[in-house]
Amino acid sequence: MASSQQPDKAKPHVLLIPFPAQGHVNPLIRLAKALHMRSFHVTFVHTEHNHRRLLRSRGPGVVEEVPGFRFETIPDGLPLAELDGIQDIWKLCEATRRTCPGHVRELVERLSRTHGIPPVTCVIADGAMGFVVHVAKEMGLPAYLFFTTSACGFLAYLNFDQLAKRGYVPFKGK
């Protein structure tokens, strides 16, 4: 008879990485739960600041591990003094873009060496965390972007460059 570890090694293991903001985390956590219900091993990655906020608001039970579903944290590059994270979205984007790629790589490597956990076979990142795709591809992993916006919001993102080129943004103050 095969060992109890054998079936887990055959399970696909998806790493999900949301942008550290509530409107991004909630849809990805729903996706993570849906994949877990379909026999995926799931690792959900929070940034350190988001993880602390989650624990303060919902308590430590919110991240209790269940078989095949785990939470991990990576640094986001924000100063420790920012207890509730940063409200400046551009600074947060820059901090995650600069800091997170190396930590994502280290996390994938560490998970592949962890006994009882299947190696990561796929990465799903929030559309605002596009740098994760480059890390995954460098590691030979398939990577997908998950956009948490509405169709209207997504079209706006696709046209930001046109808004700037035509002088509509930034807004001129009166």
pLDDT tens figures, 60-104: 766 666 788 999 999 988 776 655 555 677 788 888 899 999 999
- Which residues does 170 contact at the CB level (< 8 Å), separation at least 6? 164
Domain presence at residue 172: no
Work out the mean pLDDT of the chain and round it to a whole number. 84
Burial, 8: exposed, middle or buried (Cβ in 10 Å; 0-12, 13-18, 19+)? middle
- Look up residue 43 and give its two tokens: 């690792």
Establish if 144 belongs to a structural domain: yes
Asked whether the whole model's pTM tops 0.85, one would answer: no
Q: Which residues, including other chains, have CB under 8 Å from residue 173's CB and lie 6 or more apart?
A: none
Q: Is residue 86 part of a domain?
A: yes
Q: Hey, is 46 helix, strand or coil? A: strand
In a domain, 173, yes or no: no
Q: What are phi and psi of 69, to 5 degrees?
A: -140, 120
How far, CA to CA in Å, does 81 sit from each of 78, 84, 93, 98?
8, 9, 18, 19
Peptide bond before 75: cis, by omega within 30 degrees of 0?
Answer: no
Could you tell me the CATH number of the domain that includes residue 91?
A: 3.40.50.2000
Asked whether residue 1 is assigned to any structural domain, the reply reads no
Q: Which residues are catalytic?
A: 24, 126
Number of residues written out for the chain: 174
Q: Which domain holds residue 21?
A: 10-165
Sign of CA dihedral 65, 109, 92, 83: positive
Contact 24, 139 (CB under 8 A): no
**Residue 157 above 60 pLDDT?**
yes
Indicate the number of domains in the chain.
1
pLDDT in tens, 26-61: 899 899 999 999 999 999 998 888 777 777 776 676
Residue 5 included in any domain = no
pLDDT classification of 155: cutoffs 50, 70, 90: confident
